[in-house]
Structure 1
């Protein structure tokens, strides 16, 4: 009777759910569950500025919150270093497949298009108010990403004697791509069009290698090397510089 009374009087622990947002004052902590995750992980969302903690199962969310709390100083430090979001605006210089392109406003141009100057420099021009201008630029970039990624996917898949691979785009927050071998489908982050060409090609080779090896085994990396060559510099670029591609928004 006394034991059961103590249990009744004991403060109940908070119940956490996937998708829940917890306000810690200095930042928002977003809880996620991913059945494919092998361990609890923590990252910063470059678009929202939220700290996102992922647990393998709902029952692990309590431990995930505790882990995030233990990394408070890390979250604060990295949020300060995180690049601020920038809307696509006239005068801004962006990189498209490693080439510098200046965004410019040109009256009457509805569909964004590239223009080359006499000096060989490139502009990407369109029109509209701030919001519309940015959306039209992003639409162009997505279209270019789809074309480039499909071309490279066909090329690398052919090295594996695979055809008919279908691709699609998504706005990745924590991943650059994903492959479903059984369906011969690959999804890519459209933002990789803003990365150097070698990085884009590495990402395609990486995902295409998953058509044969749905893991990251030694055989998988040997396949990537056979198709692409030395992948380490491109892989390192994504790890160290890839987050900068998320500062752009429309």
Structure 2
């Protein structure tokens, strides 16, 4: 027979509640996360708190991948060479890419709501390693700027419903997660601009809910649910397809 005990594990600014199930039948400590993102530690009766914390610390990357959906079940697309005929994903839709030679000092991407156009110098027209790197940087720069323009604008209606005002929303490169809330500021991964708007809204609602609930408690998820009632479906989309949000 086992007993349950709830504690909290800290990964940077992220507080992860977990339940301990003490079992006479186990010899080692194991961890699991179910579909509701509840973390459970199963430990032998002889395990100490330090033993459990040591295992959690060794599995922090795995825990974050599960919680934030960055270790996806669906494989990412093949690496792009940024040639005509390839597609770029923007706000959940795939748009064709057309590469044209132009008198430009470096590659530049534009979008006309129907297709992407990548203007390149004739020396960048071929798919050699240097040219691919230069073209990719132009694509990343375009998506990053678009993300900085669009993603923060979506937070105002959630702030209003939470009784908040002018929460700073920063967009940039975030390693290992889609968003975070820290010291009064929401930070978002720029790659979210590739996702459907409903997925962008889920991540924003998730992070803004941390302004009133520090950890992933029942109260936290109730707040997220009040903002986006189908948050479980959106979270599952991100878990399964987040690895495809690449340029």
How far apart, CA to CA, are the structure 1 residues paired with 2:75 and 2:205? Answer: 29
Q: CA offsets, 1:173-206, max 9 Å, x none?
A: 42111012xx320111111111122111111111
How far apart, CA to CA, are the structure 2 residues paired with 1:34 and 1:227? Answer: 26
Equivalences for 1:202-213 in 2 at 5 Å?
202-213=202-213
**2:149 matched residue in structure 1:** 147
**1:138 matched residue in structure 2:** 140
How far apart, CA to CA, are the structure 2 residues paired with 1:214 and 1:205? Answer: 14
Compared CA separation, residues 162 and 89, structure 1 to 2 (3 A): same
Whether 1:96 aligns to 2:93 is no
How far apart, CA to CA, are the structure 2 residues paired with 1:173 and 1:85? Answer: 21
Equivalences for 1:77-116 in 2 at 5 Å?
82-83=75-76, 86-87=79-80, 89-91=82-84, 92-106=86-100, 107-108=102-103, 111-116=108-113
Deviation at 1:114, TM superposition (A): 0.5
TM-score of the two chains, using structure 1 as the length reference: 0.61
Unaligned stretches of 5+ in structure 2? 1-9, 19-29, 33-49, 63-70, 125-130
3-state secondary structure, aligned to 1:242: helix
Compared CA separation, residues 126 and 154, structure 1 to 2 (3 A): farther
TM-score of the two chains, using structure 2 as the length reference: 0.62
**2:220 matched residue in structure 1:** 220
Whether 1:123 aligns to 2:116 is yes
Q: CA offsets, 1:61-94, max 9 Å, x none?
A: 8x949xx9xxxxxxxxx99x85466146123212
Q: CA offsets, 1:204-246, max 9 Å, x none?
A: 1111111111221222122112222211111001111112225
Whether 1:242 aligns to 2:242 is yes
CA-atom RMSD in angstroms = 3.5
Compared CA separation, residues 214 and 141, structure 1 to 2 (3 A): same
How far apart, CA to CA, are the structure 1 residues paired with 2:142 and 2:201? Answer: 20
**1:75 matched residue in structure 2:** none
Q: Which structure exhibits the higher relative contact order, with contacts defined as CA atoms closer than 8 Å and separated by 6 or more residues?
A: 2
Number of aligned residues: 184
How far apart, CA to CA, are the structure 1 residues paired with 2:188 and 2:75? Answer: 23
How far apart, CA to CA, are the structure 2 residues paired with 1:111 and 1:154? Answer: 31
Q: CA offsets, 1:157-182, max 9 Å, x none?
A: 122221222122343442111012xx
Unaligned stretches of 5+ in structure 1? 1-32, 43-55, 69-77
Deviation at 1:149, TM superposition (A): 1.2
**1:157 matched residue in structure 2:** 159
